[in-house]
Structure 1
Amino acid sequence: MQLTAYTKEFKYNLTIAFPIMMGQLGHVLVGLADNLMIGQLGAAELAAVSLGNSLVFIALSLGIGFSFAITPLIAEADGAGNIEKGRSYFHHGVMLCTVNGIALFLLLLLAKPILYHLDQPPEVVALAIPYLEIVAFSMIPLMIFQAYKQFADGLSQTKYAMYATLLANVVNVIFNFLLIYGVWIFPRLELEGAAIGTLISRFFMLWFLWEVLRKKKKFKQYFVWSKNEFFKLAIFKRIFALGFPTALQMFFEVAIFTGTIFLAGMLGTNPQAANQIALNLASMTFMIAVGLGVTATIRVGNQKGLRNYKELRRIAFSTFLLVFLIEAVFAILFILMKDWLPTFYIDNVDVIVLAAQLLVVAALFQLSDGLQVVILGALRGLQDVKIPTLICFVAYWIIGFPVSIYYGKAENLGSMGIWLGLLAGLTASAIMLYFRFNYLSKKLILKAD
């Protein structure tokens, strides 16, 4: 097949992906705003945000991963033109995500004592606990928002969640500024102020998206809430069967990145602060790939609904090629700008030098990280989630994390060794997931013929 068969899809892929990319970047920018403003308070405060968010990111991965189940189901129903089925998936998805948000909030509160037993600097733990308590509550509005977002994404209407997220970022930055530093009539709350800013912005985000979607003609028929559609066990089971493995996929990946925070903390406050800077920068480029991953889910789900498997494979491969090219650009930029980017976060020379070294490794795993998340998205569109979950576990925890533990010791490679483990895990994941998609898509074509 000629290259143009794939490149001609780039424009439409980006049309769908761009708002998702911006929306996902919005989530990261909430963290970036916190990091930039808190970095001015000192290395201990920056490390505390990193430590507090380490638990939040694990919860976030489970919640967002679970909500991803809504998108392929809505996309398949939309491709088949079945509004009633799509509405039922939407309503059940909102209910499940609400319960999920409450459960994650409670789990984070129960998990607080863990921070005292992770061999972290005591002053960092003392600062992290109050921050974590407030941010934990924001999981409830965020998970409900995710249900509405994934529903809209499934209908290829990706721009409204982007608007909500970007506006929420403005709200977050304003309240951060007022509450971290105590501007005007507001008290100086430092880390707790940043957490309150995040909480306010997430409630705003949910309200905005709900208000926009329910008034748009495209969505009105989905907002008719019928009592007959409530609590259909078969629908709950289907969403859960897709959502739980997807949540585990994200958990396995986010948990290994969280593991690097704990390993870096064992090396000291400066290595942990440098680790946080490199992670924050790498996560921004990762969110670009997440946008294309959701695009792969939507487009593959549509073609699955139409039962057009040759087109499904061609379109999926167009997203793989596109993410490879985009991430290659980011890899080059990370290498060229490694000494400059960390200076935006902190003026500690030791932290800047360490972060610059980590960005070299981050540049190397851009390609595999981008590919694995987009291939996962395509597999999700096929509603294939169990084997990919196993692949993610093996790649990150059997291959990657042992490398991080061994080479991440101070007497070996330190911080660089920790990140070499990430590179090994992400590369193994991308290779195995590619073989899985290649096998399944060929099998579907042969079966249809």
Structure 2
Amino acid sequence: MVTALLRDSRALGALAVPLILTQLAQVALTTTDTVMMGLLGTTELAAGGLAVVVFNQIRTMGVGLGTAVGNQIAAAAARAERADGTASAEEGGHAEVRALVRASLAVATLAGLVGAVLMVLIGQALVLLGQDTSVVGLTQRMLHALAPGLLPCLWFQAIRQFTVGMRRPQALLRITLASVAVNAALNWPLVHGSFGLPRLGLTGVGIATSLVHLLSCIALYLAAKRDGELAPLLALDVHRADTPTVRRLLGLGIPVAATYGSEAGFFSVTALLAGSFGPAALAAHTAVNQLVYIVFQVAIGLSHAASLNVSRELALGNHDGARRIRNTALACAGVVMTVVGAVYLTLPRLVLAPFLDTGSERALGIATHLLVITAFLQFFDCAQNIGVGLLRGLDDTRSGFRITLIGYWAVGLPAAWLFAYTLELETAGIWLGLLTGLAATAVLLLRRYATALATAAPREPKREPAAGTA
């Protein structure tokens, strides 16, 4: 059994490790921003953290709309492997992939435009949500700077799903690493006014981020066009996206977006709750939330890899392989979370140092207590994200949404309110509520996967429109 687990871990890791490294490199962008905001002061960190929460809420839902395309492409590639290798079968697979790429870019364009408008409107409404007035003005200005970057960010994610679905994610890591360096190079002069540039403060952080999203999108597109296998399938003529494929992607993607939005919204609401206890509590919440976000990238990489492998195994008719993927992904996640939790518990000030001003003892004290809760919370956070990915591999995206509604909102949010306000645990109570909601969600998702897999039927090829419309 141990031998099988190690073999399956290596197979999962072949796809998961590049994705995890890419996710970690990508989160370095927001980590750099958070460090820069912390250097500006506690109020700036609180305001910037609130802006990033809003941006991440909308970005995450936009990404969710196109996430299922990776599974569809992975399944199409696996079906082509099972086919007899005739030219007509190969061209049929290429036509399906091109249709999926067009549709995903069309969906990303719409989501980016609508999301940018929503970001600005939410910024205007923050003053009505009980936030400190000294924080709201700064948050609004940063949201205005971040909004233009949403569209290229979602284009990047659409092309990313295409490359990952084709099992060729190598360029992602190189590009994302380069974007970290570019972001750091842009942040300092835009924030502090170096090299003849105006001193923009917190707004400069948002402008740098938007520029990096644009440059990353261009770089990934050019890398895909240089790949002999990917280039013929990367269709940018979005106006030719056919309605059936768009409808299929939206049918799968809307529940994923709602699931991602449900989780991001859960964390967004808790940020608003933390803000009600003052700037120090919100700064502490922002710092710890950033640490959780960093570690969460391991869960995202494992979730995507497990999801794609489940789609592939079912397309090949291998149900036992799909069942083992769950156990392998959870075992790998458990090892990583144990190591990280030990660091949180033994070296709390060291891990918080990059995010909090050492002069803010109140914020540092709150954050130190939150890390104790986080050491346990992250096990459930990782497990529930893997559960969502596993269900997506079964093309069951609706169950994930329904379950997250129950776990986050019917269990987690009332628990957070109870602990924070009724039991007067304040910010620590909010994080105990987060832990409770994530634990409930993880259990329900993994139970649903076991049930759904037992009744899953073998995958049949999707019927696409005629070649002239694809």
Q: Taking structure 1 as the reference length, what is the TM-score of the superposition?
A: 0.96
| Match of residue 373, structure 1, among 376, 382, 385 | 385
Counterpart CA distance in 2 for 1:444 and 1:20 is: 27
Deviation, structure 1 residue 367: 0.9
Counterpart CA distance in 1 for 2:192 and 2:385 is: 38
Report SS of the residue matched to 1:126: helix
Q: Does 1:136 align with 2:186?
A: no
Contact 1:6 1:315 in 2 (8 A): no
Q: Write the mapping of 1:36-55 to structure 2, written as runs, cut at 5 A.
A: 36-55=35-54
| Match of residue 435, structure 1, among 444, 447, 453 | 447
Q: Write the mapping of 1:12-411 to structure 2, written as runs, cut at 5 A.
A: 12-81=11-80, 82-223=93-234, 230-345=240-355, 346-347=357-358, 348-409=360-421
Instruction: Report the AA paired with residue 126 of structure 1.
Output: G
Q: Write the mapping of 1:411-426 to structure 2, written as runs, cut at 5 A.
A: 412-426=424-438
Instruction: Report the AA paired with residue 342 of structure 1.
Output: L
TM-superposition CA deviations, 1:47-81 (whole Å, max 9, x none)? 00011122112101211111212111111111112
Counterpart CA distance in 2 for 1:68 and 1:395 is: 22
Deviation, structure 1 residue 26: 3.0
Contact 1:156 1:298 in 2 (8 A): no
Contact 1:21 1:291 in 2 (8 A): yes
Report SS of the residue matched to 1:340: helix
Cα 1:310–1:411 change in 2 (3 A) is closer
Contact 1:301 1:382 in 2 (8 A): yes
Report SS of the residue matched to 1:120: coil
Deviation, structure 1 residue 83: 2.5
Deviates more, 1:160-169 or 1:295-304: 160-169
Deviation, structure 1 residue 230: 2.2
Deviation, structure 1 residue 335: 1.3
Report SS of the residue matched to 1:217: coil
TM-superposition CA deviations, 1:249-308 (whole Å, max 9, x none)? 111111111111101110001000000000000110001110010001111111122122
Alignment partner, residue 90 of structure 2: none
Contact 1:145 1:205 in 2 (8 A): yes
Deviates more, 1:246-255 or 1:343-352: 343-352
TM-superposition CA deviations, 1:376-420 (whole Å, max 9, x none)? 111111111111210011000000011111211286101110000
Cα 1:230–1:446 change in 2 (3 A) is closer
Counterpart CA distance in 1 for 2:182 and 2:190 is: 12
Contact 2:263 2:408 in 1 (8 A): yes
Cα 1:47–1:218 change in 2 (3 A) is same
Contact 2:384 2:445 in 1 (8 A): yes
Contact 2:105 2:236 in 1 (8 A): no
Counterpart CA distance in 1 for 2:174 and 2:404 is: 32
Deviation, structure 1 residue 12: 2.5
TM-superposition CA deviations, 1:188-211 (whole Å, max 9, x none)? 111011111101111110000000
Counterpart CA distance in 1 for 2:457 and 2:113 is: 42
Contact 1:320 1:375 in 2 (8 A): no
Instruction: Report the AA paired with residue 243 of structure 1.
Output: G
Deviates more, 1:61-70 or 1:203-212: 61-70
Deviation, structure 1 residue 226: 7.5
Counterpart CA distance in 1 for 2:50 and 2:191 is: 18
Counterpart CA distance in 2 for 1:28 and 1:367 is: 19
Report SS of the residue matched to 1:386: helix
Report SS of the residue matched to 1:189: coil
Contact 2:317 2:458 in 1 (8 A): no
Cα 1:352–1:80 change in 2 (3 A) is same
Instruction: Report the AA paired with residue 262 of structure 1.
Output: L
Contact 2:314 2:459 in 1 (8 A): no
Counterpart CA distance in 1 for 2:349 and 2:172 is: 34
Q: Which runs of structure 1 show a deviation greater than 4 angstroms over 4 or more consecutive aligned residues?
A: 224-227, 445-448
Cα 1:435–1:166 change in 2 (3 A) is same
Contact 1:92 1:231 in 2 (8 A): yes
Deviates more, 1:25-34 or 1:406-415: 406-415
Residue segments in structure 2 that go unaligned for 5+ positions in a row? 81-92, 461-470
Instruction: Report the AA paired with residue 194 of structure 1.
Output: V
Contact 1:74 1:90 in 2 (8 A): no
Deviates more, 1:10-19 or 1:407-416: 407-416
- Aligned residues: percent identity? 26
Contact 2:102 2:235 in 1 (8 A): no
Contact 1:339 1:353 in 2 (8 A): no
Cα 1:324–1:411 change in 2 (3 A) is closer
Deviates more, 1:418-427 or 1:158-167: 158-167
Counterpart CA distance in 1 for 2:27 and 2:114 is: 23
Report SS of the residue matched to 1:218: coil
Deviation, structure 1 residue 316: 3.2
Report SS of the residue matched to 1:344: coil
